[in-house]
Structure 1
C-alpha cells in the first residue's frame, strides 16, 4: 500500500545483500547481536544507501518488546535508545525496525509528511506498540484517517504455534482476541495470527488503510527467523 505514496521511500529487506557470515548471513543490521561490528556497520551502510542516505541516518531502537514510541527529530547515528517505535517528521531520517519473526510496521500520513516504524513482537503488540506509534504521529500533527500502514514480513499464522498460556494472556486482555487463534497440532496448542492482530490494533487506533505483505519469515528462507533458527 505504500508504493503509491509520493515522496516517501520504504523497504522491507531480506537477509540477502550483506557481508555477515554464519548464522548472521548476510544482511544482519542488529547491533545487539554477536556479529562482527564492522560487518554490521557495513550492512547498515548498505541499507541506508538504498535510500541515498548516509549510515547515520538509519535510526533504530534498542528493542525491548515494549509500547514505547520515540521521536527522531534528527538522525540518531550511533544512539540506540530503548523503545520499539521510531517516529519522525524530519526529512532524511530513516525510521527502522529490526525483526526476525516479529512484525515490522511502517506507517505514513502522506499529507502531514509524518512517518513511523514499529517493531511488534507478540509482547509489544499486546502492550500496544502500534497504538503508541499512531499516537506519537498524531502529536506531531498526523491524523489516523489519513494514515497508510504496512505490516511487513513476519511469522505467519500457519507457523506460529503457541501454548494455551499464550492464548490466555491475549484473552485476559480482551476476550475478542480469541479470534486470532486457531487449533494447533494438538489440543494444548494453538496457532496465532500475529499480522491479523497487529492490523486489528491499527484499525482500533483509527488506521483502516493497512495490510500485511503476506511474507511468512519462518517459512521463507529469504528472511531471518528466530523460530526457524532455534527450532522453537
Structure 2
C-alpha cells in the first residue's frame, strides 16, 4: 500500500510530511506505518516502516533522526545522525540531509521551517510539553541557528481534537492558575469533566511567540483508518498503540 503523506503549503519548499498509518508493514493493533520503537511491535517491522519513511524523505535510514521523547520542554540541536537518542521533545537543525522525526499518537506533532535561513525544527507537544514551553524553546533554538521569528512557519499536524479530549477539573485549574485567559481553551464536558482544545492552545503559544502557525485540522482519535490514538487504544482496552511520525528536512 502506498504511503499517505499530509503536507502543508506553509512549509513549502522544505520537504516534510505528516505520515498517516497507511502503507506500513505492521499488523494487528499496530496495523500500518507504526514508527514507534518504544512500542511492543516487532523491532524489525518498525525499522522497515521507518526505512519507508526515510525513502519517502529521500534520506538514508540512519539520517532519519529521533529522540527519546519524555513530555519535556527540552530541545536538542542536531547536526549529525544520533548514535544514542537523548531525552528531549524537540529538535532543530541547519544541516542538509537530516530528517527530524517526531512520534505522536494524540499529542501535537509540530514542524517548523525558516526556508530563507535554512533552519528547521520538529516538536512533540502534548499538553505538558506545550504548557512547559517546548514550542517557545524550539523557536528560540531555531533563532540561535540563524532563523528569524517573522520568517518561521509552524504547522501542527494530526492530533486529538477538543471533542475527543476529556480532562479532569485539575487540568483546568492548572491552566487557569497560570493564566486566567486559558479558560477559553476549555468547555464543559459530562459531569465534572472538561474538554480541552489542545491544537488551539498550541496555536496560541506559537503565535504569541511571534511565528506564523496553523493546524492541519485532522483529529487522531476520530479517524481510526488513518491515525493511531493513545486515548482510543485505552477506550478500546488494547494492550498498546502505534505511533505516527512527522518529519522535516532541508
TM-score when normalising by structure 1: 0.95
State whether residues 11 and 154 of structure 2, in contact with CA within 8 Å, keep that contact through their aligned partners in structure 1. Answer: no
State whether residues 75 and 94 of structure 1, in contact with CA within 8 Å, keep that contact through their aligned partners in structure 2. Answer: no
Q: CA RMSD in A?
A: 1.4
Q: Pick the aligned partner of 1:64 from 54, 63, 70.
A: 70
Residue 60 of structure 2 is aligned to residue 54 of structure 1: yes
Equivalent in the alignment of 1:99: 104
CA–CA distance in structure 2, aligned partners of residues 42 and 128 of structure 1: 33
CA–CA distance in structure 2, aligned partners of residues 191 and 17 of structure 1: 32
Gaps of 5+ in 1: none
CA–CA distance in structure 2, aligned partners of residues 80 and 32 of structure 1: 12
Residue 206 of structure 2 is aligned to residue 202 of structure 1: yes
1:144 shift after superposition: 0.9
Equivalent in the alignment of 1:15: 21
1:62 shift after superposition: 0.6
Equivalent in the alignment of 1:79: 84
State whether residues 156 and 199 of structure 2, in contact with CA within 8 Å, keep that contact through their aligned partners in structure 1. Answer: yes
Aligned length: 229
CA–CA distance in structure 2, aligned partners of residues 85 and 18 of structure 1: 25
State whether residues 109 and 156 of structure 2, in contact with CA within 8 Å, keep that contact through their aligned partners in structure 1. Answer: yes
Secondary structure, aligned partner of 1:96: strand
Equivalent in the alignment of 1:39: 45
1:5 shift after superposition: 4.6
Secondary structure, aligned partner of 1:35: coil
Residue 173 of structure 2 is aligned to residue 168 of structure 1: yes
Q: Identify the structure with the greater strand proportion.
A: 2
State whether residues 10 and 155 of structure 2, in contact with CA within 8 Å, keep that contact through their aligned partners in structure 1. Answer: no
Secondary structure, aligned partner of 1:12: strand
Gaps of 5+ in 2: 1-6, 237-250
